[in-house]
Chains A and B, each alone.
Chain A
Amino acid sequence: MSYEELENKMDQTFLAVRYNVEIEGAAIKPEEDLDVVNIIPTEEPFRAIALAVLYEDREASLANVEKALANDISPIDIINNGLMKGMDAVSLLYTKGFYFLPDLMLAGDGMMEGVKECEKVLGHKSETKGTIVSFVAEGDPHDIGKNLVVMFLRAGGYEAIDMGRDVPTVDVVKAIKEYNPIFVTGTALMTTTMTVFPKVVEALQKEGLEVPAIGCGGGAVRKDFVESFPMSVYGVEAYHAPKLADAIVKDKKTWKDLRKEYADIVGEFVSEYS
């Protein structure tokens, strides 16, 4: 039987179901999602500012912010009641599966443009929920995971210090001293570079330093390895990072709590923590 004959004989759904297509609901405007309705402000100019972020429209976002600033609206209010609300809605739609990573990245770009304009008027950096240091393990050039973590943290309202990739352990310790972060994230792709994480912890302990938690994750990183040394928590998905940070900031959770309550904190089933 030829290839074509074989193919024509087959019922594709007998072999594979594209469940992503099967479960897709009707298309709705993002601002009409019932949960988003509760996030997006109703009063102007904040609504327009938030919607520009929600629609990933960088130019509109910037124009709206400039207009509001020209009308003497407080830059802090623009950030908190406009830009951040838009980003909160984007993050929610990502969590619900309606938005995708590119939506988040582009909306984040729009939000950051707006924040920068506000900071120009403020004359200093705006307040964030806290400072977080993010690095890729020494000897490891794979940084897309770290880039995602940084993006999710910034979108979540944190100042993420991006230390780049192949970062010497001494530099990580130096940054922790300098920034006194509420959380640290480290990523590695390989079994033989994840071994940097306990070395960072050891170096911190030698200097009598402690951070609430060091989130360790990436390709070959395993939970059992990460839990074999203190101060650490195994991070499963990049988008979990701001949720873990929130738990530290709002609920004063420690690395021990994060290990025990990981799935509850991130609000979903996590196979590695089941």
Chain B
Amino acid sequence: MKRFTRMIYKNPDEMVFGKAKFPVSQRWNIQIGAGYVLPEIKVAPVEGSEESKEKMVSECRNITQSACERAVAVGLPAFMLEQEHIFQQTNNPEWTAECTQIQAETLEKYHDEYDIKVSLRATPADIRLEERSPGLRGSDYDNKVMESVEASAANGASDVAIETIGGKSVSDYGIARGDPKAILFGIGVLGSIDMEYMWKRIVDVCKKYDCRPAGDTDCAQANTAMFMAGGLLDKDCSHTLAALARAMAAARSLVAVECGAIGPLKDCGYENPIIKAISGVPIATEGKNAVCAHSDLMGNLTAAVTDVWSNESVYHRQEMGGTTPEVWLQATGYEAALMNTALQTGQEKVLRDLYTLTDKYRDPQALVLAYDNAYRIGEAIVKYGNDPYLRSRAAALESGAIINEAVEAKKMYLTRFERDSLDSALKIFEGLPTESDQFIDECLRKYSRKVAEFDPKSYEL
């Protein structure tokens, strides 16, 4: 596996929405990162649909058809539909097969009839449980995940993405206790090891079919920190520590690309701008049109260098403006249209900068993901590109430096909690071993004892 030790983008100003260094082509005449932004719609199946395969298949068909109807009703030139699997789908690969098939058939029908460009993303759930023997590797759940990946690829998915959970037991411990070392170990080391295990296999499966291996997201870890950090008045996780976790997540999620994923990287990977800067692959992101799913502090900024603009997730139900697949595809569709207008008229860099500046200093988590800062973090990662631990540590230190510079420039203001946790984390990171083996040994001793669910065997440690 070849690691990234150089930046594909030569400077941050090269990065813009709708264009990637390495665009991706998929079936149904769609290109991603090739000069236009694609809206994405994702809808959570309604409660009760999990009771039988027939109900689930019907639910998937209805969601798909609703999205297609609204797409042609409002004249969208292209869109992506994502199906994030529920547990029962992944645990029953025959469900995956039939659901994917009905979605693919529905999308193809609209593509044939209207020539609309469509894309179907399948995201099997990572249902593995570390604490249940034999752990993350070789369990029935592990096998079901891979069977579900194959069922998706074989039955019409344009691409496959996933949100793997390696290292989560330790990073959760670290996030809840404000322990930066545990977060670094959980995301940067354990997460990266597990990503390699999962993604080599996913890429091999996708190669057998007309299905692209897309990418992973650190939803299980960095998003846990972000959600717990919450709004400005929440009290569960320091926003500076969440920003550092996000930077480390980029070093971890990059592993999918190093294993052969080609993008677009999955929407809830807020670390994606950093990975785009490093690798040149197209990315999906989410922000203000994902408020139906959750709140973040960077609703515009995340659009700055996106290639697929997503709503993240929404209940499948009716709103005043229609069903949610209709309403939220329209919302992401209009935002994509704004970006595409900017691209057509040569104003894309202006819009990119405005998107960025609306949120850049709203929160440290936004600051480190502004495209210029994302690029800096990318540079820190590739400098130590061959070592997952060192590059994660470098990402964290660089993001800390970015925050501190903004504080000194009186552009970013921190609470005592944010200030103290940043100072403490940076001090800890600076004092860590410069040898990966030593760091891993220390962490194995400490966290094997403290975190009941953590099983080093799941990482071959």
B187 to chain A, nearest CB (A): 15
Nearest CB of chain A from residue B408's CB, rounded to whole Å: 15
Q: From residue B204, how far is it (CB to closest CB) to chain A in Å?
A: 25
Q: A106-B177, A192-B88 are in contact. Are A10 and B50 (CB under 8 A)?
A: no
Q: Which of A100, A143, A165, A225 has the most CB of B within 10 A?
A: A100
Q: How far is the CB of A96 from chain B (nearest CB, A)?
A: 10
Is the Cβ of B413 less than 8 Å from the Cβ of A101? Answer: no
Number of residues from A at the complex interface, CB < 8 A: 42
Contact string against B for A residues 1-20, beta-carbon threshold 8 Å, 1 for contact and 0 otherwise: 10100110010100110111
| Per-position 1/0 for A177-191, Cβ under 8 A of B | 000000000000011
**Would B178 and A192 count as touching, CB distance under 8 A?**
no
A147–B232 touching, CB < 8 Å: no
Chain A residues with Cβ under 8 A from B25's Cβ?
A: none
Question: B443 an interface residue at 8 Å Cβ cutoff?
Answer: no
B87 touches A193 (CB 8 A): yes
Counting CB contacts under 8 A, is B430 at the interface?
A: no
Interface size in chain B (residues, C-beta < 8 A): 54
- How many inter-chain contacts with C-beta < 8 Å in the A-B complex? 123
Interface members, chain B 46-67 (any A CB < 8 Å):
46-51
Q: A191 to B315, Cβ gap below 8 A? A: yes
* Contact B13 A192, beta carbon cutoff 8 Å: no
CB distance from B3 to the nearest CB of A (A): 29
A100-B238, A192-B45 as given contacts; A21 in contact with B415, CB under 8 Å: yes
Q: Which of B44, B129, B233, B411 contacts A166 (CB 8 A)?
A: B129
Give bound CA distance, A75 to B450, whole Å: 26
Contacts of B112 in A (CB 8 A): none
* A123 in contact (CB, < 8 A): no
A105 interface residue (CB < 8 Å to B): yes
| Cβ contact of B165, chosen from A1, A141, A147, A190, cutoff 8 A | A141
Partner of B233, one of A12, A19, A165: A19
The answer for the CA separation of A18 and B239 in the assembled complex, in Å, is 12
Closest to A24 in B: B415
Q: Flag the segment in B30-38, B97-105, B353-361 that touches A.
A: B353-361
Which of A99, A195, A222 is packed against the most chain B CB atoms within 10 Å?
A: A195
Chain A residues 160 to 205 lying within 8 A of chain B, measured CB to CB, are: 164-166, 190-195
List, sorted by A's number, 19 A–B pairs whose CB atoms are closer than 8 Å.
A3-B13, A3-B356, A3-B372, A6-B357, A12-B411, A15-B362, A19-B232, A20-B233, A21-B415, A100-B236, A102-B238, A105-B177, A139-B87, A139-B91, A141-B128, A141-B165, A164-B131, A191-B44, A191-B316
Residues of B near any A CB (own CB < 8 A): 13, 44-51, 86-88, 91, 126-129, 131, 165, 172, 175-179, 224, 228, 232-233, 235-238, 315-316, 350, 353-354, 356-363, 372, 411, 413-417, 421
